[in-house]
A = this chain, B = another copy of it.
């Protein structure tokens, strides 16, 4: 009963759908900060009724704009006080795919391939410097891994998930 539109069923995919109106942005902004708000509360923060908000949230979910709602754990308080970024240089293209196996480790939070003077970039959080050393050792076990550079985080001033807002002033040519 949901997909009642039989006008061709063009399958409007997440990206090319409606471009997010002001209400949606406000909803995303609030939920990115604090999911677990009641729909009623969320409703009168942005000026809508509870069912309306519920409908929109359900849509945002289905469209993939909200990927998940998760509990954000504290690294130190859960036994992993050491945060680090690791740049991995590989010779040729080998080793790139083998790196994905590291997704299994709970210490590894991010794996990106990047453009720049390095190939892959990892974000890891581990229990101790010994654990970090062990992780690096495993990295060098991979074929094709030529070098790594580690950036150990001394202090995190800001750490959050993607935000809803967009600064339009950044698109301006230049203010100087």
Q: How far is the CA of A69 from the CA of B75 in the complex (A)?
A: 15
Q: Are A121 and B65 in contact (CB under 8 A)?
A: no
Q: Which residues of chain B are within 8 angstroms of A117 by Cβ–Cβ distance?
A: 149
Given the known inter-chain contacts A116-B150, A158-B103, please indicate yes or no for A126 contacting B170, CB distance below 8 A. Answer: yes
Q: How far is the CA of A130 from the CA of B107 in the complex (A)?
A: 34
Question: Within 8 Å of chain B (Cβ to Cβ): is A145?
Answer: no
Question: Within 8 Å of chain B (Cβ to Cβ): is A174?
Answer: yes
In residues 1-44 of chain A, which contact B (Cβ within 8 Å)? 14-15, 20, 28, 31-36
Q: Which residues of chain B are within 8 angstroms of A111 by Cβ–Cβ distance?
A: 156-159
Q: How far is the CA of A32 from the CA of B71 in the complex (A)?
A: 5
Question: Within 8 Å of chain B (Cβ to Cβ): is A55?
Answer: no
Q: Are A171 and B127 in contact (CB under 8 A)?
A: yes
Question: Within 8 Å of chain B (Cβ to Cβ): is A143?
Answer: no
- Nearest Cβ on chain B to A12's Cβ, whole angstroms: 13
Q: Which residues of chain B are within 8 angstroms of A54 by Cβ–Cβ distance?
A: none
Q: Are B170 and A107 in contact (CB under 8 A)?
A: yes
Q: Are A163 and B74 in contact (CB under 8 A)?
A: no
Q: Which residues of chain B are within 8 angstroms of A110 by Cβ–Cβ distance?
A: 156, 158-160
Q: How far is the CA of A162 from the CA of B76 in the complex (A)?
A: 10
A-side residues, CB < 8 A to B, are 14-15, 20, 28, 31-36, 63-80, 83, 85, 99-100, 103, 105-118, 121, 125-128, 130-132, 134-135, 137-138, 141, 149-167, 169-172, 174-176
User: 5 A–B contact pairs at CB < 8 A?
Assistant: A28-B71, A109-B158, A109-B163, A111-B159, A118-B151
